[in-house]
Structure 1
Amino acid sequence: MKTAISQFWDVFRVPNGNPELTLAQYEAFSKQVPLLYFILATNLISLSWTHQGVAPDYLVRYIPGLLVLAFALRGVIWFTRRKMRVTAEQAFRKLRSTNRLAIPIAVVCTAWALAVFPYGNAHQQAHVAFFMAITVIGCIFCLMHLRSAALMVTILVNFPFFVFMVWTGEPTFIATGVNVILVCMAMVMILLTHYRDFRQLHETSQVLMLQQTALQEQNKAMQALSDENLRLANLDSLTMLANRRCFFQSLDIQFERARKSGTQLAIGVIDLDGFKPINDMFGHAAGDKVLVEVGERLSRMATGDLSVYRLGGDEFALTLCGEVTEARVQSLGAAVCEAIAERINAGSAVVQVTGSIGFAIYPDVGANGQELYERADYALYAAKRNQRAGAVIFNAVQASELSRQKTVEEALLAADLETELQLVFQPIIDIALDKTVGYEALVRWHSPSLGLVSPGEFIPIAEHTGRIGLITRLVLKQALEVAKTWPDDIYLSCNLSPHDITTPDYALRIVSTVMSSGFNPRRINFEITETAVMHDFDQAIISIQLLRDIGAGVSLDDFGTGYSSLNHVHKLPLTKIKIDSSFVRDIHILPSSFQIVKSVLALSAEMGLEAIVEGVETAEELAVLKDLGVRSVQGFYFSRPVPASETISTQSVERQQIRA
């Protein structure tokens, strides 16, 4: 701890413990130093002037002249350097230099004034007293930001001045000395208070600056966090590509830019073919590796005018701006499909997927970004329908199809389905027993505005719009009413959509419809496609088991046209398999079709499942199927779908055809 003496001497030193405070002192002090030297110079000149011819020349000319010259020079130096930027160390050295210089200046000025005092009359001596008083007060004011120098000047000037005034014995001078001492003491108190307030104000300012800096840093951190959150919100966490949200935001911006500048813009929507079987066979980890690798391949193709996005699942997107021609788009589509088709190391296996891509080009099509995307998505749908298409650019034919689709969609949404839907039934024949064993219920839609609309046209639209669940229940309800009129040995076969077996509520509603009909569930066979099963395999198993629990049969329709059939069919609680008509057509000519049907029949027998062959259209096809041991068949060779009123009467006709 510092001693009292050390603390006393600290008052007369320039503090150097706070660089910021030192700089603040210097900045304030440097503005007042020129005034300090101005006060000293003018007071010296004034006192010298009044003592001309009274005091010796060296006292009133030479010494004051040298002092005034020195003060003027110092004042000019400080004035020209008052705005100069200095470091805390430089400021400290300048303040300390001034602090040291205050001692000789105070001593010299005091000694000179006291030396001049004996000369002249009472008025001139009073001027000396005034000089001493006004000079020390002015110095205190000018040195208030340099406390140590102000205190030393006060002591070095006032103490000799007071002693000298008392030594004269003149009451007026004694009173003047006392008055100056008291005023200076008050001035010193003001000085100390001002210095303390200045220091506290500076410390408060520093605290506020630190708080402001901390707040700015906090704001920067919050902004950085906000920017990072925004980046993550627009980024796909798996592939690190821009995500669906970013795609549609960018699409709107790019479309508006293309519209205003009159340039072109192409949108590409990509879907991976064969991805879901990889997920099911090798697990989601393998599927994720496939998506990451495809994302990396696509991102390597990105340039200044080509951006890549992941929309979700196995769907990606591209935006291409600038000079967009059909040739460039086709070339890009081919490059994308080629890159995707390269084999991928998925960890436990080397797998391969292919890609379908649909393009739409503005200004050829699209009134806005969303519409352009929809056109590209429809072109993708066309590419997937034609599995060898690869890349498809939206064209006039697809525009006509899309227009028709929207017309059908609007009519379907406004349709009174209970009255507009009609059923027809196609018989299922047991060729060994030479009889009809069941009927497959098929729906037809007679629209008041569109006329007859084929199931192949309105069923996909119904699935897209969500009306498929209602259609399924209406068809099932009508079919059950018709089936009640059939003999007990004839069963009803109804088709279910992917939504019916992958949505728990839909499956429960189907069960409720069957149970409330009063029809024996064991006489019902529900047909599901393998594509529908693969849509959500786990939920499909639950829904199929629910139907089996009430006694209904379940057959896998279009068997062999989906993915990983042999890998999945044994996991499903099925009762029948329907062999797709594509394998039956020209089976008597094509050895490959013959071998496929033979293999499927062997598989069915091994699994204890009944096989139904659909699409039989000729006697030659039927003959081959008989040789293979097929029992249940279905096709135009026997009968086209017929109205409900003809379901029983067609049996005799069918038997005649079989015999023929």
Structure 2
Amino acid sequence: MFGLPYHDLDLAHAQLTALARQIPMLFIILTANALALAATHIETAPPFLTIVMPIVFCLICAHRVRFWRRLSLRSVDGVGALHFLKTITFAVAVLGAVFTAWSLALYPYGDAYARCHVAFYMSITVISCILCLTQHRSAALLLTFLVLIPFTIFFLITENLVLIAMVANVVVVTWGLIIIMLRNNHSFDTLVVAQRSAQRLSDENLRLAQQDGLTGLPNRRRFIAELDDTLAAAQQSGTCFAVAMIDLDRFKAVNDSYGHGAGDRLLEQIGGRLGTIAGADRFIARLGGDEFGAILKDTADEAAILAFGARLQELLEAPFALNATALATIGCSIGVATYPQTGQTAEDLFERADYALYDGKQHRKGEIVLFSQALETQIRTSSQIEQALRNADLESELWLAFQPIVDATTNRIHAFEALARWESPELGAVSPGVFIPIAEHAQLINHITLVLFAKYLDALSLVPATALVGFNLSAHDLNSRATITKIQEMLRGSGVNPSRIVFEITETALLRDFDLAAETIETLHDMGTSIALDDFGAGFSSLGYVHRLKLDKIKIDRGFVSDIEHSDTAPKIIRSLIDLCRNLEVSCVVEGVETPAQLTLLLSLGAKLIQGYLFAKPMRIEAVAAWCERTNPLASLMYPDRLCG
């Protein structure tokens, strides 16, 4: 009952915090009551008791009030709080004994009213002290006993019935206050423990809310908060820092080849490795999927950034064990923006680091790219194009160009590929290689696809009936159930024979969500349309997809053809791909053929279906019929005696 919470330093600090607000009031009450008692005895009692002692009391109490009001508990820990509680207990014992002795010393002086005032002073003061010391149980009880026991004995031996009755009342009231004080003290202790548990639970929930459950690294929310804090600190101190966006290379191949469980195990190991280079000046977080972020504090030096990137790549390029027998080797691409050189706000830094990463993934995969003025120009251009796309009348500005695919063995047109074109009144002709990625990033590609597909269906009547016509679908299209459903509805309502339609998809489109893409491909295939895998060989895992998809055609990437005359390996690769298609019983189209020499070499390798500028550049639909009528695709090249069919 009289002990201090040595076992619970947090509780000791909570008790001290509550007492710090109440002890000044205790000293104010003692001062006011002492002055009142001295005033009623000033004419009868000695000056030492009525003047000197009250002045000393007032000075002591004023000093303690000033001390407690100026005390800051922020720097006081649990051990310090215990020390304060011990000091309070000692001070209460001394003050209680002194005030009791002083009060009883005044009793012999004065009349009956003055003597009753002594009894009243002692009783009301002890009650006030109990209330002010509720959170310090031992001090409150000690003060009660130091005052109440002498008070009771002293006034009982006076044999004055009124005073004895007053003593009885005070004892009963004090006893009741002690019971209430003990209960309140217990409730206070319980509340402190409960609040502490709740705070710990809240802290744990906050930690979990800001931590990635798979890798153990901070998550995106924590990264954004840390970026804001770092920016605020840098603005105040005038220091520099860098923000890096990190994207894993070849991670999806692990998921597709070994399953998501292996992908999760890989991410766990990645989190462990990244954690080894994180620290006070290097904050690393998982932003989602296979994307990570890093904040390099107090540095914007290019050499230091490149050294960090090299260390990061070294860590991630070392093999990872997926299971007892399988190893995976990945890598990463990194985009970096620096404060204050390339961004002044957290949003700008995040976006520009992300843009540098995007540019690296497109053109310098596996490297670290620092945001530069050239990329700033690209952003402005992209922003201008995006704004123009949003404001465009797509129905009138978008159109389709058609490029033929020629069967070189029969001298007939096998198919056409419909290619997107955009003629902006503001920007002029914009290359699809420019506006399509921007449209995808701006979430406009699905609408553009539907506009172009409507034009595509209308144009089929102007293409020779024996020719198939290809239409390109993006990754966003394959992963949008709403878009695919709308395409199905448009196709059913058009009256077009589905067998004439070839949906062309790229390998990169499959990487976004292979399972959903495969489901979409099967849905389109079941409608009677054909499926072509475009740019085959440009990716690293095309062979892993071929046997898992319902494909009707494979188009060999133009990158193999451009160097076919001067490369020892390109002809061998093309021959192997042609043989692969033959064995799989799917059509094979070779893209990017531009010279007769390339054509001759491809024919010797077994190529049959050819597409490229050698025969025709993409043309408007209005020009297709005329081109077919006046052009024998191979007449001037290979077979002057045959006619275009």
**For this structure pair, what is the TM-score category when the shorter chain's length is used for normalisation?**
0.7 to 0.9
User: Which of the residues 321, 329, 334 maps onto 1:345?
Assistant: 321
**Residues 86/505 of structure 1: CA separation in 2 closer, same or farther (3 Å cut):** closer
Q: Distance in 2 between matches of 1:329 and 1:318?
A: 11
**Residues 19/649 of structure 1: CA separation in 2 closer, same or farther (3 Å cut):** closer
Q: Equivalent residues in 2 for 1:225-624 (5 A)?
A: 225-348=201-324, 349-387=326-364, 390-624=367-601
Amino acid at match of 2:286: R
Q: Distance in 2 between matches of 1:650 and 1:151?
A: 122
CA contact (8 A) 2:575 2:606 kept: no
CA drift of 1:187 comes to 4.2
**Residues 191/440 of structure 1: CA separation in 2 closer, same or farther (3 Å cut):** same
Amino acid at match of 1:518: G
CA drift of 1:19 comes to 4.8
Task: Select the structure of larger CA radius of gyration.
Answer: 1
Amino acid at match of 1:356: S
CA drift of 1:151 comes to 8.0
Amino acid at match of 1:562: G
Q: Distance in 2 between matches of 1:609 and 1:141?
A: 108
Q: Distance in 2 between matches of 1:480 and 1:157?
A: 116
Q: Distance in 1 between matches of 2:510 and 2:156?
A: 104
**Residues 419/189 of structure 1: CA separation in 2 closer, same or farther (3 Å cut):** same
CA drift of 1:561 comes to 1.8
Return 5+ residue gaps in structure 2 as ranges.
Answer: 4-25, 35-44, 46-63, 65-85, 101-107, 124-144, 641-645
CA drift of 1:204 comes to 0.3
**Residues 152/229 of structure 1: CA separation in 2 closer, same or farther (3 Å cut):** closer
CA contact (8 A) 2:282 2:294 kept: yes
CA drift of 1:560 comes to 1.7
**Residues 195/535 of structure 1: CA separation in 2 closer, same or farther (3 Å cut):** same
- Structure 1 counterpart of 2:73: none
**Residues 193/487 of structure 1: CA separation in 2 closer, same or farther (3 Å cut):** same
Find out whether 1:632 has 2:612 as its counterpart.
Answer: no
**1:590-623 CA distance string (max 9 Å, x none):** 2322222222222222222111111112222222
- Structure 2 counterpart of 1:654: 633
CA contact (8 A) 1:503 1:539 kept: no
CA drift of 1:353 comes to 0.7
Q: Distance in 1 between matches of 2:512 and 2:270?
A: 21
CA drift of 1:473 comes to 1.6
Q: Distance in 2 between matches of 1:515 and 1:425?
A: 23
CA drift of 1:588 comes to 4.2
**Residues 87/334 of structure 1: CA separation in 2 closer, same or farther (3 Å cut):** closer
CA contact (8 A) 1:147 1:191 kept: no
For the residue of structure 2 that corresponds to 1:322, the secondary structure is coil
CA drift of 1:85 comes to 6.8
For the residue of structure 2 that corresponds to 1:484, the secondary structure is helix
User: Which of the residues 158, 181, 206 maps onto 1:205?
Assistant: 181
**Residues 213/518 of structure 1: CA separation in 2 closer, same or farther (3 Å cut):** same
Find out whether 1:219 has 2:187 as its counterpart.
Answer: no
Q: Distance in 1 between matches of 2:119 and 2:371?
A: 90
Q: Distance in 1 between matches of 2:488 and 2:311?
A: 49
Q: Distance in 1 between matches of 2:387 and 2:506?
A: 27
CA drift of 1:237 comes to 1.8
Amino acid at match of 1:297: R
Q: Distance in 2 between matches of 1:407 and 1:154?
A: 95
CA drift of 1:526 comes to 0.5
CA drift of 1:259 comes to 3.1
Q: Distance in 2 between matches of 1:416 and 1:638?
A: 33
**1:276-307 CA distance string (max 9 Å, x none):** 11111112222122222222322322343222
**1:76-132 CA distance string (max 9 Å, x none):** xxxxxxx997989xx9xx99xx9xxxxxxxxxxxxxxxxxxxxxxxxxxxx9xx99x
**Residues 423/211 of structure 1: CA separation in 2 closer, same or farther (3 Å cut):** same
For the residue of structure 2 that corresponds to 1:356, the secondary structure is strand
Amino acid at match of 2:545: H
CA contact (8 A) 2:155 2:163 kept: no
Q: Distance in 1 between matches of 2:480 and 2:153?
A: 95
CA contact (8 A) 1:139 1:153 kept: no
Q: TM-score, normalised by structure 1?
A: 0.73
Return 5+ residue gaps in structure 1 as ranges.
Answer: 1-17, 21-26, 36-45, 47-82, 99-126, 159-183
**1:165-199 CA distance string (max 9 Å, x none):** xxxxxxxxxxxxxxxxxxx4554444333212211
CA contact (8 A) 1:140 1:188 kept: no
CA contact (8 A) 1:365 1:372 kept: yes
Q: Which moved more, 1:604-613 or 1:580-589?
A: 580-589
For the residue of structure 1 that corresponds to 2:607, the secondary structure is coil
CA contact (8 A) 2:332 2:366 kept: no
CA contact (8 A) 1:143 1:149 kept: no
For the residue of structure 2 that corresponds to 1:647, the secondary structure is helix
Amino acid at match of 1:476: F
CA contact (8 A) 2:334 2:357 kept: yes
Aligned residues: 540
- Structure 1 counterpart of 2:68: none
CA contact (8 A) 1:434 1:658 kept: no
For the residue of structure 1 that corresponds to 2:478, the secondary structure is helix
Percent identical among aligned pairs is 36
CA drift of 1:493 comes to 0.7
